[in-house]
Amino acid sequence: MPARSFSVPVVVLSLLAGSAPAKDKIPDDQLKFFESKIRPVLIEKCYSCHSGDTKNGPKAGLTLDSSAGVLKGGDNGPAVVPGNAKKSLLFNALRGIDDVVVMPPKEKLTPDVIADFEKWIGMGAPDSRDGKATAMAIDVEKGKDHWAFQAVKPVTPPKGTEWANTDVDRFVEAKRTEKGLSPVPDSDKRTLLRRVYFDLIGLPPTPEQVDVFLNDTTTDAFEKVVDTLLASPQFGEKWGRHWLDVARYAESSGKERNMAYPHAWRYRNYVISSFNADKPIDQFFTEQLAGDLMGGKDDTEKAERIIATGFLAVGPKSHAERNPRQFALDVADEQTDAMGQGMLGLTVACARCHDHKFDPIPTKDYYAIAGIFTSTETRVGVPNILIARNGSSAITLPSKATVPVAPGISKREFDALNDRLTSLKKQRDEALEESRKAGETPVRFVGIQTQIGTIEGTLAMYDESGQPKKLAMGVVDKFFPKDMPVHIRGELEKTGETVARGFVQVLGGTKPKLTRKESGRRELADWVANADNPLTARVYVNRIWQHLFGRGIVASPDNFGTTGQTPTHPELLDYLAGSFTKNGWSTKKLIRTLVVSHTYRMSSKYHVGNYGSDPDNLTLWRMSKRRLDAESLRDSMYAIAGELDTKPAVASPVAKTSGLTQQFGRFGVATSSDDTRHRSVYIPIVRDNVPESLELFDFAEPSLVSGSRDDTSVPAQGLYLLNNTQVMKLADATVGKLGGRNQSEVKRVDAAFRLVLGRPATKAETDSASKFLNRFKQTEARTSRRPGEIDRTAWAALVQALFATAEFRYLD
């Protein structure tokens, strides 16, 4: 069969034809993925042959620079099956298989980029472009008319009725009344207690804690519970994880060469500690952007602030990129995107290849920010190996800093690694000699050199006695900071005018003047973490609101630009943002204000009239039912079983070695969620290898800024709870807390319901459970198992069935 020849753009065209959703219907995460991962590749690799600007017309009759051209198609016809990459000519062309000529013809795309196109096809190939390819006229001054780019305004709360307990309630009540809706009744005390426990610390209340609250008849009983939870060390573990989603936290690089980041755990612990200490968010943001430039009162504080810059270092990176300049640009781009979306709710990185298509952000503004990060050196502590050349050393923390350290290795293990290194170097020299004689590099040389780099990187983490050094990953300024030229269409070799380092013009507020001696990160932090910045406080309080009510006042938490959602309660958003900065940027004060409100205390009961008018509950006429996040689901089963270790984990299993994550098994590194009794926030997150207990229940994608997680309900989730070995073990351990066999069956069933669901069993549920236990025992009696063993297994099956219920997995 002759090879079929066509260009990548032809395939992309067919991919999009008749399948992509309209721009205003594209989910925010898909829009973000297309703009950051797909459009830049099309511009850089395809437009030169397939755009309206080509000198001799577009090849194959295809223009790719507009959705109109995409929908029309090219000479080769359809080449993509939306939702099925393996049946799509595009995917096969990118990989160069099935007799399809590889495209682009001069340089095959990297495996990582090909994987992005595969993922895009799986989404249905969403394309945010509409109409003809016309350049957006950037008018920064007119752009300031957008609500989110205007200064936060002082707002006076409206007058409310007796229903409203707080100013928050008055705003909510006013909007609801405007729509002619009424609130549902309040939650009962059990439901409210379970809700606030999971929301604030991610764990269920014990039966004893439930009883104490039910018996407390004082008027401030709930407020006392809230204050206790805010002061709990588990608070930081719950709310720190929310920020780690935004910070795209992981302990490896991802991409085609997945390199371990052995010191990433320090940043994780910094985040948890910061939330427990209620560190002001303006300081929290400043430390993450420029902590290394802040100094400190002593070595410990200096070390903490250096560790904070791990925010800029933990993102995904293509360490296998052959061109170090391209690698540096890509790292700066990823950091610009993380800062933009994470702290400002703004997709600044979409202006890398062209003026932003939707927001008033010219390409020059992107390079003003990116220049700050290209003047910054990112240090992650991975070795340079032959197949991943863009390694870097870790940062040595101040010698007198009091910081936790990872477990060491014995002197014997250290010496064994040294001996192995010597042996490998000898083998490498032999392989090089073979190479000289054969005139080509033998395959075994690559493997040997990879092992050498890995062992050298591991040895660098310890002193000669095997004690770990005080190392961290983060950033430092380059010796010669400099401004950056615009890269036309994002291409490395096509540069335009040089842009002075600076900030996004459309955002007002205080804009510090940069110096030539530093990268500009200090000034960038001052601009971001400032009450005058119209976005920072709004974006942050919206994130807090979303986690407590299930939906943000702005439903697109990472995008406050013109393609983001408009706020349902704009006055309330500004009121909260203004109060937040006046109250010292305190997360705990903000959360307390929200959870003691009447709005938070409502039940999730259905109301036919309200639902007909507002099915999405935008006016907050009830509390939205929410599913437990993956961590809370896992942690609560461990807690109920009495198996949860609530002590903070000091380091991470990944801290034992450097190098490729594929080698973890060889070095005894465990990354499964079943290998630790600690809370889920301490489970190692290796990109492309997220533990099943988290991934199945919509864990955040660790390579992207994730202000909100997916909320799916698929059969695999139920099958996991009914068949996973660890869930079975936890159910069995819970049986030991139901009382001995001398207790009545009724009391033991009731104890199971109180432990798992936080409430007593009803008469009907007790009867049903009794029938289940009897049937189970009768069936198992046919085996050779002992009666006592059969009895315990039956009770464990009952507990496991409760774990699998919707009532356990959801918050009312």
- Summarised one tens digit per residue, pLDDT across range 438-488 is 776 667 788 888 888 888 888 999 998 999 999 999 999 999 999 999 999
Q: What is the dihedral of CA 12, 13, 15, 18, to 10 degrees?
A: 160
787-803 and 715-723 helices cross at what angle (nearest 10)? 160
Please tell me whether the peptide bond between 316 and the residue prior to it is cis, using omega within 30 degrees of 0.
no
Q: What is the pLDDT at residue 76?
A: 65
Q: How far apart are CA 429 and CA 445, in angstroms?
A: 9
Task: Report the length, in residues, of the chain.
Answer: 812
What mean pLDDT, rounded, does the chain reach?
A: 88
Q: Per residue in 363-392, pLDDT tens?
A: 999 999 999 999 999 999 998 887 888 999
Over residues 48-75, the mean pLDDT reads 65
- Contact call for residues 8 and 94 (beta carbons, < 8 A): yes
Burial of 789 (0-12, 13-18, 19+ CB in 10 A): exposed
Q: Indicate if the pLDDT at residue 575 is higher than 60.
A: yes
Q: Per residue in 736-776, pLDDT tens?
A: 999 887 889 999 999 999 999 999 999 999 999 999 999 99
Residue 18, token pair as written in the block:
């008749």
Q: Indicate if the pLDDT at residue 73 is higher than 50.
A: yes
Contacts of 37 (CB under 8 A, 6+ apart): 113, 116, 119, 120
Q: Which of 19-28, 115-124, 346-355, 550-559 has the lowest mean pLDDT?
A: 19-28
* β-sheet bridge partners, residue 811: 626
Residue 709's identity, in one-letter code, is R
Q: What is the pLDDT at residue 780?
A: 86
Query: How many CA atoms does the CB half-sphere of 607 hold within 13 Å?
Result: 20
Q: What is the pLDDT at residue 41?
A: 79
Q: Which of 54-58, 608-612, 689-693 has the lowest mean pLDDT?
A: 54-58
**Burial letters for 513-530: b for 16+ Cβ neighbours within 10 Å, e otherwise?**
ebeeebbbbbbbbbbbbb
Q: Indicate if the pLDDT at residue 43 is higher than 90.
A: no
Over residues 260-278, the mean pLDDT reads 97
Q: Per residue in 780-799, pLDDT tens?
A: 888 778 888 999 999 999 99
Q: Indicate if the pLDDT at residue 17 is higher than 50.
A: no
- Give the containing element (helix H, strand E) for 280: none
Q: For residue 671, what pLDDT band results from cuts at 50, 70 and 90?
A: low
Q: Indicate if the pLDDT at residue 579 is higher than 70.
A: yes
Residue among 567, 626, 635 at smallest CA distance from 809 = 626
Q: How far apart are CA 663 and CA 385, in angstroms?
A: 14
Q: Per residue in 123-178, pLDDT tens?
A: 888 877 664 434 457 889 999 999 999 999 999 999 999 999 999 999 999 999 99
- Contact call for residues 140 and 506 (beta carbons, < 8 A): yes
CB atoms within 10 A of CB 474: 28
Q: For residue 75, what pLDDT band results from cuts at 50, 70 and 90?
A: low
Q: What is the pLDDT at residue 375?
A: 97
Nearest-5° angle of CA 570, CA 574, CA 579? 150
Q: Indicate if the pLDDT at residue 4 is higher than 70.
A: no
Domain boundaries, the chain: 8-123, 137-175+536-602, 241-399+473-528, 411-467, 719-811
Residue among 114, 13, 129, 102 at smallest CA distance from 64 = 13
Q: How far apart are CA 354 and CA 608, in angstroms?
A: 49
- Contact call for residues 631 and 694 (beta carbons, < 8 A): yes
Residue 422, token pair as written in the block:
């010597």
Choose between 745 and 657: higher pLDDT.
745
The DSSP line for 635-653 is HHHHHHTT--B-SPP-S-G
Nearest-5° angle of CA 192, CA 595, CA 215? 40
**Burial letters for 703-714: b for 16+ Cβ neighbours within 10 Å, e otherwise?**
bbbbbbbeeeee
Choose between 183 and 102: higher pLDDT.
183
Q: Which of 90-99, 209-218, 642-651, 706-715 has the lowest mean pLDDT?
A: 90-99
Q: What is the pLDDT at residue 24?
A: 52
Over residues 527-556, the mean pLDDT reads 97
For the chain, what percent of residues have pLDDT higher than 70?
89
Q: What is the pLDDT at residue 125?
A: 86
* β-sheet bridge partners, residue 184: none
Q: Per residue in 474-529, pLDDT tens?
A: 999 999 999 999 999 888 889 999 999 999 999 977 788 888 889 999 999 999 99
Q: How far apart are CA 464 and CA 455, in angstroms?
A: 14
- Contact call for residues 71 and 16 (beta carbons, < 8 A): yes
Residue among 542, 573, 593 at smallest CA distance from 153 = 573
Q: What is the pLDDT at residue 519?
A: 96
Q: For residue 641, what pLDDT band results from cuts at 50, 70 and 90?
A: very high
- Give the containing element (helix H, strand E) for 244: helix 233-246
Residue among 504, 766, 807, 758 at smallest CA distance from 640 = 758
Alpha carbon distances (Å) from 381 to 220, 389, 393, 460, 698: 50, 13, 4, 9, 30
Residue 531's identity, in one-letter code, is A
Q: Per residue in 152-161, pLDDT tens?
A: 999 999 999 9
Q: Which of 79-93, 177-191, 312-326 has the lowest mean pLDDT?
A: 79-93
